[in-house]
Structure 1
Amino acid sequence: MGKRKKVLERDGTAFPAKTYVDCLLKPVFNDQRDFLFSAMFQIHRAHVLMLCDKGLLSRDEAGKILRAVEKLAGKDPSEFQYDPRYEDLFFMVEGMLKGEIGEDLAGNMHIARSRNDMGVAMYRLVLREKLLELIRNVQELREALLYVGEEHLETVMPAYTHTQPAQPTTLGHYLLSVHDMVERDTKRLWSAYQNVNKSPLGAAAITTTGFDICRDSVKDSLGFEEVVENSYDAIAGADYLLETATSIMILMTDLGRWVQDMLQFCTREFNAVKVADAYVQISSIMPQKRNPVSVEHSRSLSSSAIADAQAVLTMVHNTPFGDIVDTEDDLQPHLYQAIDKSVRVIKLMTAVISTIEINREDLARRAREGYITITELADAMVREKGISFRTAHQIASKVAHKAHRAGMELDEVPPQMILEAAKEVLGREMTFSQEKLAQVSDPHYFIEVRKCPGGPSPKEAQRMLDVRKSRLKEDRDRWTRVEGKIQSAQERLMDRVHSFILSSDG
């Protein structure tokens, strides 16, 4: 038997082939059932009510359709299993509605509507819900960063450039910097949300419809903020998917960088951070180990979320600008997975950050090592001795070299070493008292004098922290308003649906 004959015997000669069912239709059906079930019925409700308002359905017809819609919507989604008689979940539901109210009435529910605009609307409804969940959890992370940061406005630590100790700062200043990056991530998520929360309904296949419909009515019933005005754009424009994916990629990339810091801070060699016992595991063979697996998993999951989000961009890239399956059911789960993984990471790191213990003494010791306060010595030469900064930099560099050869830290350097270095650079002597040298080598003094806007001075850091607390409250208030508007729209929609059903029953 030839290969072609074998395949046809296995798959059959009529659509859908068994392989097509197993590899595509059944998995797509399951994804639609698991992700889009509720959104599909929300759209049915809003569309039927609009058709009635515009006189395209009678009130009695609308009531009968809505009663059948609610009967199916009340079922457990798991009851819906793939059936080869139907291409997908939506045709199955239409078939079930025909059994309830007849073919003509079930068919009229789709006046002025296409699977195209309906599909895009479902994707947007699900995506906005997931984005709001992610934004809420990012807000929780920001609160944790501010909370712990405020506890450590005076916890001195080295700041790093090129992975090397550079200058003293505070843990509070560091955590504020992480917060500010995450705050910008929040803004990107809000931007994505705004572009997701637009209604494509009324675009129909791609050119609207000849029926007199009201796109704004459906938009308001579903809690969308705007209508995607151009009907071609409503169907073809997938940039709302790309913006969401990109914002997730940036969020998880940003998170991965400071998570990597956290893993370094947790090492026994670094000994700066202790992850709470609830978030570490003990080695199966080495009982002394405290493995910060919660942080490791966060790093791994953030990379996985980035990969899922990147898949969205790759799938849309170089596709035609129109209705195309590449932006539909095969793509959507990647975006949902990217968001779900991001939420898991954010929740986990919020818990870890909120419960960490800090080795303040060891961090303070490190802030005195490696001559990382020597910039202040150069600054003091400029302020008190009237020399240029570049000259002061050369003198300070020589002091560092001499101290290193002598096995001294900066707070151990005698005035004579400054005098010698100055003579080599300036050709004349320049002196500092032992008291002055002790002051400029003190990391606490280094931090205290850096009180210009954005600096690590505890007073300035507290000012920044208070501003950010206020902005976080405003952001949370915005979330509450947005969520409340959606909930109100859903309640109004359901009130109208129940009213129509009751009047139809009468």
Structure 2
Amino acid sequence: MRKREKVLAADGRRFPGKTYVDCLLKPVFHDQRDFLFRAMFQVHRAHVVMLCDQGLLSEAEAGEILQGVEKLAGSDPSEFQYDPRYEDLFFMVEGRLKESIGEELAGNMHIARSRNDMGVAMYRLVLRDHLLLLLQHLQDLREALLEVAEEHRETVMPAYTHTQPAQPTTLAHYLLAVHDLVERDTRRLWSAYQTVNRSPLGAAALTTTGFDICRDSVKESLGFDDIVENSYDAIAGADYLLETATSVLMLMTDVGRWVQDMLQFCTREFRAVEVADPYVQISSIMPQKRNPVSVEHSRSLASSAAADAQAAITMVHNTPFGDIVDTEDDLQPHLYRAIDKSIRVLKLMTAVICTIDIDKEHLAKRARLGYITITELADVLVREKNLSFRIAHQIAAQVAQRAHRAGLELDHVPPQMLAEAALEVTNQAITFSEEKLAQIADPRHFIDVRRCPGSPHPTEVKRMLDNRILRLQEDREHWIRAKDRIRNARNRLKTRMNRLISVSKG
């Protein structure tokens, strides 16, 4: 038998062919069931109540429809299995509703509505819940970073540029920098949430409807902040997906960078950080190993989340500006997976950061190595010897080179070595006392003289910490208001729906 005959024998000559079912319809159905089931019934409720309020359905009709809707909504989603008689979950629910309340009533539920605006509404409802959960865990991570930073305002450590020891800073200063990066990610996600939390309902297929509907009442019933005003935009505009994906992509890219730092800090060579026992694993053969696999998994999950977010962006790229499957069922799971993986990363790293053990003494010793305070030598030469900075920089560089050749760290450089370096650069034997050179080489002195806004000085770090703690509290209050708005809208809709059901029962 030729390949063509084999395909026809397996798939038949009518829709849907077995291959089409196995590769598309069944997987899409399962995704709809697993992700959109609850959101679908929320849309049904809000739409039926609006039709009743607008006089398009009587209270008795609306109540009877809602009884059927509630009966189906109470089902276990796993009971819904793919059936080739129905193209998707939407038509299966409508079919079961017809069996329950009759074809006419079930059909009237679809007045002034399309799968187009309904589908986008469901995606937005599910996506906003994912975003709120992600934002909650971001706030937890920020709290952990701020708490540990508060404990380590005096913990001196080396900072790195180009992977090389650069200058002394404090662990608090470093963790505040991570926090501020995460805080900006938080703001980007809030912006995405505001774009997502807008109602497309009432757009119908894409040109609205000839029925006298109220888009604002549906918006309020579902807890949306606004409507997508232009009905074409409501159906075609996929930027709510792009903004979400981009925000998640940036978040996980940002997180991956400092997670990589954390892995380096955990190495025996660095000995800066020890991950707590609940988050390490041992080797199957090397009993001495304490592998920080929680941090490693966080790094790989962050990459996987970024890849899922990038997949969503790529799927929208170069697509027509209209209703297309590219932005619908095939794309949505990528975003849900990206957010779910991001949440796993945030939860893991929050736990790790809250429980890490810091070797303060070892960090302080490392902050004295590699001549990383020598910028202060150049600065002091400018302030106290009236040299230009570039000349002072050359002298300091000469001192570093001579000390390296002599096998000395900066805190052991004798005054004569500085005098020789200055003589070579300026023809003047400029130097300081041993006590002065020791002070210049001290990492704590290096930090103490840096009191500019944003510096690692403990007082300035404390000011920044207090400011960030207040901002975090404001962000948590904003999150609570967003959750309350959705919950209150759901409760109002439930009350209205129950009244209509009671009317229909007589």
Query: How would you bin the TM-score normalised by the shorter chain?
Result: over 0.9
1:441-497 Cα distance to aligned partner (Å, 9 max, x none): 000000111111000000100100110000000000000001001000000001111
**Mapping of 1:158-237 within 5 angstroms?**
158-237=158-237
Amino acid at match of 2:30: N
CA distance in 2 between counterparts of 1:293 and 1:169 reads: 28
1:100 offset after TM fit, Å?
A: 1.1
Q: Which residue number in structure 2 is paired with residue 328 of structure 1?
A: 328
**Mapping of 1:451-490 within 5 angstroms?**
451-490=451-490
Question: Which runs of at least 4 in structure 1 moved beyond 4 Å after TM superposition?
Answer: none
Q: Which residue number in structure 2 is paired with residue 63 of structure 1?
A: 63
Q: Which residue number in structure 2 is paired with residue 45 of structure 1?
A: 45
Instruction: Find out whether 1:80 has 2:91 as its counterpart.
Output: no
Q: Which residue number in structure 1 is paired with residue 254 of structure 2?
A: 254
Q: 1:157 aligns to what SS in structure 2?
A: strand
Q: Which residue number in structure 1 is paired with residue 396 of structure 2?
A: 396
Q: 1:107 aligns to what SS in structure 2?
A: helix
Instruction: Find out whether 1:447 has 2:447 as its counterpart.
Output: yes
1:179 offset after TM fit, Å?
A: 0.3
CA distance in 2 between counterparts of 1:471 and 1:407 reads: 48
Q: 1:396 aligns to what SS in structure 2?
A: helix
Amino acid at match of 1:408: L
Q: Which residue number in structure 2 is paired with residue 120 of structure 1?
A: 120
Q: Which residue number in structure 2 is paired with residue 354 of structure 1?
A: 354
Worse-matched range after superposition: 330-339 or 4-13: 4-13
CA distance in 1 between counterparts of 2:110 and 2:29 reads: 20
CA distance in 2 between counterparts of 1:431 and 1:210 reads: 89
1:254-290 Cα distance to aligned partner (Å, 9 max, x none): 0000000000000111111000011000000110110
Instruction: Find out whether 1:314 has 2:314 as its counterpart.
Output: yes
**Mapping of 1:90-169 within 5 angstroms?**
90-169=90-169
1:173 offset after TM fit, Å?
A: 0.3
CA distance in 2 between counterparts of 1:3 and 1:376 reads: 78
CA distance in 2 between counterparts of 1:37 and 1:404 reads: 68
1:13 offset after TM fit, Å?
A: 1.1
CA distance in 1 between counterparts of 2:500 and 2:399 reads: 86
CA distance in 1 between counterparts of 2:444 and 2:102 reads: 80
Percent of pairs identical after alignment? 76
CA distance in 2 between counterparts of 1:96 and 1:208 reads: 27
1:133-183 Cα distance to aligned partner (Å, 9 max, x none): 000000000000000011111110000000000000001100000000000
CA distance in 2 between counterparts of 1:47 and 1:407 reads: 79
Amino acid at match of 1:420: E
Gapped regions of structure 2 (runs ≥ 5): none
Amino acid at match of 1:493: L
Q: 1:113 aligns to what SS in structure 2?
A: coil
CA distance in 2 between counterparts of 1:474 and 1:400 reads: 48
1:420 offset after TM fit, Å?
A: 1.2
Amino acid at match of 1:298: S
1:111-149 Cα distance to aligned partner (Å, 9 max, x none): 000000000000000000000000000000000000001
Q: Which residue number in structure 1 is paired with residue 372 of structure 2?
A: 372
Amino acid at match of 1:80: F
CA distance in 1 between counterparts of 2:252 and 2:264 reads: 18
1:499 offset after TM fit, Å?
A: 0.8
1:431 offset after TM fit, Å?
A: 2.2
CA distance in 2 between counterparts of 1:291 and 1:420 reads: 48
Q: 2:90 aligns to what SS in structure 1?
A: helix
CA distance in 2 between counterparts of 1:102 and 1:281 reads: 60
CA distance in 1 between counterparts of 2:419 and 2:5 reads: 95
1:314-334 Cα distance to aligned partner (Å, 9 max, x none): 111111000000000011000
Q: 2:368 aligns to what SS in structure 1?
A: coil
CA distance in 2 between counterparts of 1:354 and 1:452 reads: 29
1:366-418 Cα distance to aligned partner (Å, 9 max, x none): 10011100110111111111111111111111111111111111110111111
Worse-matched range after superposition: 4-13 or 307-316: 4-13
Q: Which residue number in structure 1 is paired with residue 430 of structure 2?
A: 430
1:54-100 Cα distance to aligned partner (Å, 9 max, x none): 11001110000001000000111111111111111110010111111
RMSD: 0.6
1:169-224 Cα distance to aligned partner (Å, 9 max, x none): 00110000000000000000000000000000000001000111000000000000
Amino acid at match of 2:66: L
1:341 offset after TM fit, Å?
A: 0.2
CA distance in 2 between counterparts of 1:104 and 1:168 reads: 76
Q: Which residue number in structure 2 is paired with residue 363 of structure 1?
A: 363
CA distance in 2 between counterparts of 1:226 and 1:341 reads: 29
CA distance in 1 between counterparts of 2:382 and 2:167 reads: 18
Amino acid at match of 1:322: G
Q: 2:183 aligns to what SS in structure 1?
A: helix
Q: Which residue number in structure 1 is paired with residue 4 of structure 2?
A: 4
Q: 2:166 aligns to what SS in structure 1?
A: strand
Amino acid at match of 2:101: I
Q: 1:167 aligns to what SS in structure 2?
A: strand
1:427 offset after TM fit, Å?
A: 1.1
TM-score norm. by structure 2 comes to: 0.99
Q: Which residue number in structure 2 is paired with residue 304 of structure 1?
A: 304
CA distance in 2 between counterparts of 1:434 and 1:78 reads: 78
CA distance in 2 between counterparts of 1:104 and 1:345 reads: 49
Amino acid at match of 2:39: A
Gapped regions of structure 1 (runs ≥ 5): none
Q: 1:218 aligns to what SS in structure 2?
A: helix
1:2 offset after TM fit, Å?
A: 2.5
Amino acid at match of 1:396: A
Amino acid at match of 2:89: L
Amino acid at match of 2:402: K
Q: 2:158 aligns to what SS in structure 1?
A: strand
Amino acid at match of 1:481: R
